[in-house]
Chain A
Amino acid sequence: MRLLLALALSVGLALPAAADTAQPIDALRGPVEQVLAILKDPRYSAAATKKEQRDHLWEIIRGVFDYRAISARAVGRNWRLFDPGQQQAFTDAFSELLGNSYLSRIQGAYKNERVEFLGQELLENGTARVKSRIVRDADAIAVDYSLQREAGAWKVYDVNIAGVSLVQNYRSQFDQILGEGTPAQLIERVKAKNSAQAEK
């Protein structure tokens, strides 16, 4: 066990150097193509295979997002009110909520849209923007990803769709809840939402 951990650590430390040359756009391109391939895969057309497809999708997108950063930003300045255990509990619950909500939507609504990557922008504060659009017929939705480096790899910490930021949208909800309640109550609400979704 300890050996494995040491190995994992050394690999983890070795990676950043290699990843320095990696471009943020590449951190998205590959996974997005994989996701589209899975969505198109006729193997998953039967209703019985949806769970399997979902697990497969989840495996791919798990590595693309920095859930802790997304959680911290979605909570905003109130993040300090959370003790380390609460931060972890919130991150877990919130990741589950995001995964559940969006994976089922993606699975249900995909209709052969294309994803085009328009380019990337590296900002002075060390973060990056990757611009893409989802194209269906003659229409397109602008989707911008915000990325930052996490252990040497580019990870997404926000998604902005036609001006609406995922993180900011949740922050406005969490601000309201934390204005009237405690971090523990917020975590409970997110968990309750997850259980409600699971029952469906």
Chain B
Amino acid sequence: MNIARLSALLLVTFMASAGCAHRAAVVPADSPGMRPTVATVAPDAAAAGTALPVAGTERADAEVDEEPAAVEAGQGPAAARGEVSDPIAGWNRAMFTFNDRLYFWVLKPVARGYRAVVPGFVRTGVRNFFHNLTTPGRLVSDVVQLKGREAGIELGKFMINTTWGVLGLWDVFAANPEAKIPEGDLGLAMGHYGVANGPYIVWPFLGPSTLRDSVGLVGDFLLDPTTYVQPRTAATGIYVYREVNTTTFRIGDYEAVKEAAIDPYIAIRQAYIQHRARAGDTYEPEQNFIYP
């Protein structure tokens, strides 16, 4: 789950124009995660639409009472009301500020410099390589949730990309919509079994999370092969390098969220919670974040 993706979500909006398509959660055409809907045009329902009262404040009040958007979006009742448990808001806001500074003062300039000298195909290759390497976490999440089809696809992709894709540098399935499945993590797997988010937590360096997702992160961390690289400084170096590389694909996204928000801390918190509530249903290419 990364914030850049959230930013993308918030950004692209209006004209369904363009924003940062590569960063946002991705829904393939025939993804099973896509809610079953569409293309049901009922003429009488259309006619019923005209019966809506129009104009004036009465209408505005009436529509407020419906509390519609969230409920329709399929969130739970608490999420629908936009309620997030945030008992340590003081700490969280401080960490949010820390991550914000970290992004603007360190990560962004470094990523910019790196992007200026490293061509796009290399950065994509690096991203693919790490994504392939973190297959175990996604696979375990699928298996735990008894998602046989997804587990099979993860495993198949891993084997093909590691061999034909030269250690995962090339994503052989990049253009294959069949292979685009929701990518799980242990936080989502726990959610699948009814574990609630618990309090919202912002971690320094890691960014937004919840109690449940933090426990998941520990598991995901243990399932990440780069965790076991020795010496420890090398493992840390790899992690940082990976974040810098990932950041090059999303420079500008976080800035735009901040730009559009009245209270960026709340905007990101809300987006995190809402997005996680649906993340298991939609394909998301990246599961890492480092900044607010």
Q: Once the chains bind, are A120 and B271 in contact (CB under 8 Å)?
A: no
User: A23 near B: Cβ within 8 Å?
Assistant: yes
Q: B262-284: which residues lie under 8 A (CB-CB) from chain A?
A: 262-263, 266-267, 269-271, 274-275, 277-279, 281-282
Closest beta carbon of chain A to B287's beta carbon, Å: 14
Closest beta carbon of chain B to A48's beta carbon, Å: 21
Residue among A73, A104, A168 making CB contact with B270, cutoff 8 Å: A168
- Complexed CA–CA distance, A197 and B262 (Å): 12
User: B252 near A: Cβ within 8 Å?
Assistant: yes
Residue among B22, B72, B252, B279 making CB contact with A146, cutoff 8 Å: B72
Question: A39 to chain B: which residues have CB within 8 Å?
Answer: 17-18
User: B211 near A: Cβ within 8 Å?
Assistant: no
Q: Once the chains bind, are B46 and A131 in contact (CB under 8 Å)?
A: no
- Complexed CA–CA distance, A20 and B9 (Å): 32
Q: Once the chains bind, are A158 and B69 in contact (CB under 8 Å)?
A: yes
Q: Are A87 and B64 also in contact (CB < 8 A) when A134-B16, A164-B275, A172-B266 are?
A: no
Q: Once the chains bind, are A80 and B61 in contact (CB under 8 Å)?
A: yes
Give a binary string over B92-116; 1 marks a CB under 8 Å from any A CB, 0 the rest.
0000000000000000000000000
Question: B274 to chain A: which residues have CB within 8 Å?
Answer: 163-165, 168-169
> Which of B25-33, B128-136, B138-146 lies at the interface?
B25-33
Q: Once the chains bind, are A189 and B269 in contact (CB under 8 Å)?
A: no
User: B73 near A: Cβ within 8 Å?
Assistant: yes
User: A7 near B: Cβ within 8 Å?
Assistant: no
Question: B261 to chain A: which residues have CB within 8 Å?
Answer: 173
Q: Once the chains bind, are B57 and A77 in contact (CB under 8 Å)?
A: no
> Which of B47-55, B159-167, B215-223, B225-233 lies at the interface?
B47-55
A68, A108, A131, A134, most chain B CB atoms within 10 A: A134
Q: Once the chains bind, are A120 and B41 in contact (CB under 8 Å)?
A: yes
Q: Are A68 and B42 also in contact (CB < 8 A) when A161-B13, A168-B70, A190-B262 are?
A: no
Q: Once the chains bind, are A134 and B277 in contact (CB under 8 Å)?
A: no
Closest beta carbon of chain A to B247's beta carbon, Å: 16
Q: A56-100: which residues lie under 8 A (CB-CB) from chain B?
A: 57, 60-61, 64-65, 68-69, 72-73, 75-77, 79-80, 84, 87, 97-98
Question: A190 to chain B: which residues have CB within 8 Å?
Answer: 262
User: A151 near B: Cβ within 8 Å?
Assistant: yes
Closest beta carbon of chain A to B72's beta carbon, Å: 7
- Complexed CA–CA distance, A65 and B16 (Å): 13
Q: Tell me the count of chain B residues lying within 8 A, CB to CB, of chain A.
A: 80
- Complexed CA–CA distance, A121 and B94 (Å): 43
Q: Once the chains bind, are A35 and B24 in contact (CB under 8 Å)?
A: no
Q: Once the chains bind, are B45 and A124 in contact (CB under 8 Å)?
A: yes
Q: A99-114: which residues lie under 8 A (CB-CB) from chain B?
A: 101-106, 108-113
User: B19 near A: Cβ within 8 Å?
Assistant: yes
Q: Once the chains bind, are B48 and A124 in contact (CB under 8 Å)?
A: yes
Q: Once the chains bind, are B271 and A140 in contact (CB under 8 Å)?
A: no
Q: Once the chains bind, are A140 and B28 in contact (CB under 8 Å)?
A: yes
Question: A53 to chain B: which residues have CB within 8 Å?
Answer: none
Closest beta carbon of chain B to A86's beta carbon, Å: 11
User: B238 near A: Cβ within 8 Å?
Assistant: no
Q: Once the chains bind, are B256 and A172 in contact (CB under 8 Å)?
A: no
Question: B190 to chain A: which residues have CB within 8 Å?
Answer: none
- Complexed CA–CA distance, A23 and B46 (Å): 8
Q: Are A16 and B61 also in contact (CB < 8 A) when A161-B10, A168-B274, A173-B266 are?
A: no
User: A14 near B: Cβ within 8 Å?
Assistant: no
Question: B26 to chain A: which residues have CB within 8 Å?
Answer: 139-142, 162
B16, B70, B84, B271, most chain A CB atoms within 10 A: B16
Question: A16 to chain B: which residues have CB within 8 Å?
Answer: 50
Further pairs besides A105-B11, A134-B19: 9, Cβ < 8 Å:
A102-B15, A104-B259, A109-B11, A123-B45, A136-B21, A157-B69, A172-B267, A176-B266, A193-B262
